[in-house]
Structure 1
Amino acid sequence: MSNEQELELVSAASLASSLSDIRRELHRYPELSNEEFETTARIRGWLEEADIRIAHYSLRTGIVAEVGGLNGGPIIALRADIDALPIQEETGLPFASTIPGVMHACGHDFHTAAILGAAYLLKAREAELQGTVRLLFQPAEEKAVGARRVVESGALEGVSAVFGLHNKPDLPVGTIGIKGGPIMAAADGFVVEVGGKGSHAAVPEAGNDPIVTAAHIVTALQSIVSRNVSALDSAVVSVTKLHSGTAWNIIPERAVLDGTIRTFEEGVRRRVLKRFEQVVEGVAAAFETNASVRWIEGPPPVRNDEVLAELAWKEAEELGLIPVVPVPSPAGEDFAVYQQHVPGLFVFLGTEGPHEWHHPAFDLDERALPIAADFFAGTAVRALNHFAAEAASIAGAGSEEGAVRG
């Protein structure tokens, strides 16, 4: 059978069916971050069934594989995250999670099936590839540690560019959000500890109430974005937990605030974090209490390479899809860690679902699966051709320079 016939076979309606089956099996058996052992085993099995070679990197969970490279050439990577969330599923789907309290509520089952589909398409034309496509099935995205572990394993060595995706329930099927520059936010967490002096609730003047301080800190923090961030930039400061005290008639010794800050630009991030600390310290001092800030550094913003965005836009148009410039998401994504090492492109793929990410009734339209597979296979081929041509051009320029000197 010729490569063209193989590709036609893999691109037929059977691909959509098989990718749905894969996605549904993953959905039935979700696993939390750093616990994706069975998920990894399933992915390995599907790769081996397709005769896709496994690349051996030191990862406790997650797996790396490769297609192509038969004649050398550049390496590009396709990344899918594989972990689930600690959420009790409420979809009522026939393939709903069988694991109590664990659910693929962010669509990582979809991402995994989509990149597997791209791998199947690429395998069918392996002999034609102008390089290697490395498949990164990454663990622990929800904990924002998986990408760092993949990098530490060496799986990004030699890679010229990395591509990734996230499903987007508010985009129609057939639509792909592609843009250069920032597309997802830096996600920093904070813990503020306020120290006061405990007393009986009936005699507050004998103590120093940390709850009052904490309440004023929450209110004062809301002024940071409105008064310290330009209207042309954006940031989010959210306090999501406030806990203190043990009884109704006791003013406690301490109060603790938790929350998150989201920014798209490093300059804005530095300004917001600095102002945050000033506000906390100033309010605490005004109430004669003390306060400390502990930062939980999350992933940096996802910033897309302009050249890769242009390549992907052209591929989407060639496939008859609808590329659009998406509104950046304030959610965080550790795909940004890869972009600290190599150029990268992260896109939003329209899945037309009824609920947003992390909702207990989250679901998506599986018609988008073969679309995603086609798009990433085509984009991978286009990127390999781009980098191969670039390398040939550099080599040719070097040869001409040597000839002139000779």
Structure 2
Amino acid sequence: MTSKAAELSVEALGEQLTGIRRHLHRHPELSNEEYETTQYITSQLTQAGIRILDYGLATGVIAEIGSGKPGPVIALRADIDALPVQEETGAEYASLFPGKMHACGHDFHTAALLGAAYLLKQQEEQLPGTVRLLFQPAEEKAQGAQRVIASGALQQVRAVIGLHNKPDLPVGTIGITGGPLMAAADGFAVEVKGSGSHAAVPEAAVDPIVAAAHIVTALQSVVSRNVSPLHSSVVSVTQLHSGNSWNVIPEKAVLEGTIRNFDEAVRVKVLERFEQVAAGVAVALGATAKVRWIEGPPPVINDEALAALGIEAAEALGYQAVKPVPSPAGEDFAFYQREVPGLFVFVGTNGSREWHHPAFNLDEQALPVAARFLADMAVRSIAYYAANGGAKS
């Protein structure tokens, strides 16, 4: 079957991808609920004559482009889920579903990967290897990448390439760097237990609120006195809950928040010191503190060789490659990088709002930029690994 998209010019492809992105934007689905999105992506790929692979995923799509010639397998990844956000863009293509919105641009990522697929389909017979397309669910819950890996969809893959829109970069700019790009994102809940009493008789209690307040203060030393100033780390307490009456000292207080790190060794040390500080301060005040970790993705650490290829690809396409400022946000693309070399880049979209804002939007002229970059990187990566070890055994 000949793809209609394969016959389009880059400009016409951009128009087509804008239509796809707007359809996805109107119909957002939350993590693990991307059933209609899965069907839509499958339909678009099938119409283009691109093979769908069955890896048993409830949501998400795995597909492949290649003539069957022996050679490296390179994966391209896009995330497809939306956020529980009420949209405030005022766009004519705004979400049709109250309380759901593509406020992180995953609709852009999905459309861009479809565009890359169309471009790669044009040269399928000439590819000295295979491109595997990973339309991944549940990135916002940091679950989807691990599910894709568990399905076996990363088998035989030599390298994986992904991207994220970046509102503070102009269209035509691609942020590419080797090494750390995005942070490990861990959550925590600390349960502080004391003993309750009437508020007028505090000496009969072990006040968990006082202990929790001291823990919050002491946690500020975890980074400042345990992490080198040459590294970066964030410990943020974002919630403190305790009690339900003005005249009762409660038995329990709960702290919640997040920790961000760009280095695995620093991550391990910060989490260890966090537990020691919380437990130690609680004990000193007669209470106990139990930490429950909500493990997020590890840091995104880009392969240096792939980063060099990415700069070559961007410049060959006429785009500007810049060294991006690392983001403290988390991204489950990092789980793929634990399995195979990977490159994650920022594509400039000239947006007025940051990710997850109700008024988040982006410049759709960046769609063909992202699509062409992904396609070119796939071709370059196949050639690179063919010259440096061939297919993965």
User: 5 Å matches for 1:95-134?
Assistant: 95-134=93-132
Q: CA RMSD in A?
A: 1.7
* 1:272 equivalent among 270, 273, 290: 270
Under a length normalisation based on structure 1, what TM-score does the superposition of the two structures give? 0.94
* 1:186 equivalent among 184, 187, 192: 184
Runs (4 or more) in structure 1 with deviation over 3 Å come to 391-394
Greater displacement, 270-279 / 357-366: 270-279
**Structure 2: how far apart are the matches of 1:352 and 1:40?**
28
Equivalent residues of 1:10, 1:124 under 8 A apart: no
Greater displacement, 117-126 / 281-290: 281-290
Distance 1:59 1:6, change over 3 A: closer
Equivalent residues of 1:80, 1:115 under 8 A apart: yes
Equivalent residues of 1:10, 1:120 under 8 A apart: no
* 2:163 equivalent among 157, 165, 168: 165
**Structure 2: how far apart are the matches of 1:305 and 1:59?**
28
How far off its partner does 1:87 sit?
0.7
Q: Which runs of 5+ in 1 are unaligned?
A: 395-406
One-letter amino acid matched to 1:141: E
How far off its partner does 1:181 sit?
0.7
The residue aligned with 1:263 is 261
Equivalent residues of 1:67, 1:134 under 8 A apart: yes
The residue aligned with 1:332 is 330
User: 5 Å matches for 1:130-145?
Assistant: 130-145=128-143
The residue aligned with 1:70 is 68
The residue aligned with 2:12 is 14
One-letter amino acid matched to 1:156: L
The residue aligned with 2:207 is 209
For each residue in 1:49-83, what CA deviation from the matched residue of structure 2 results, as whole angstroms up to 9, or x when unmatched? 11111011110100100111432211000000000
**Structure 1: how far apart are the matches of 2:73 and 2:190?**
44
Number of residue-to-residue matches in the alignment: 391
User: 5 Å matches for 1:292-303?
Assistant: 292-303=290-301
Under a length normalisation based on structure 2, what TM-score does the superposition of the two structures give? 0.97
For each residue in 1:91-142, what CA deviation from the matched residue of structure 2 results, as whole angstroms up to 9, or x when unmatched? 1111111111111000000000000000000001111111110000000000
* 2:83 equivalent among 82, 85, 102: 85
User: 5 Å matches for 1:215-254?
Assistant: 215-254=213-252
How far off its partner does 1:31 sit?
0.6
How far off its partner does 1:250 sit?
1.1
Equivalent residues of 2:70, 2:391 under 8 A apart: no
The residue aligned with 2:287 is 289
**Structure 2: how far apart are the matches of 1:393 and 1:70?**
12
How far off its partner does 1:10 sit?
2.6
Q: Which runs of 5+ in 2 are unaligned?
A: none
Q: Percent identity?
A: 68
* 2:353 equivalent among 352, 355, 360: 355
For each residue in 1:167-197, what CA deviation from the matched residue of structure 2 results, as whole angstroms up to 9, or x when unmatched? 0001111110111111111111111000011
**Structure 2: how far apart are the matches of 1:84 and 1:45?**
20
Equivalent residues of 1:11, 1:121 under 8 A apart: no
**Structure 1: how far apart are the matches of 2:326 and 2:122?**
35
Distance 1:393 1:105, change over 3 A: closer
How far off its partner does 1:332 sit?
0.8
Distance 1:190 1:322, change over 3 A: same
The residue aligned with 1:401 is none
Equivalent residues of 1:175, 1:324 under 8 A apart: yes
Say which one has the larger Rg: 1
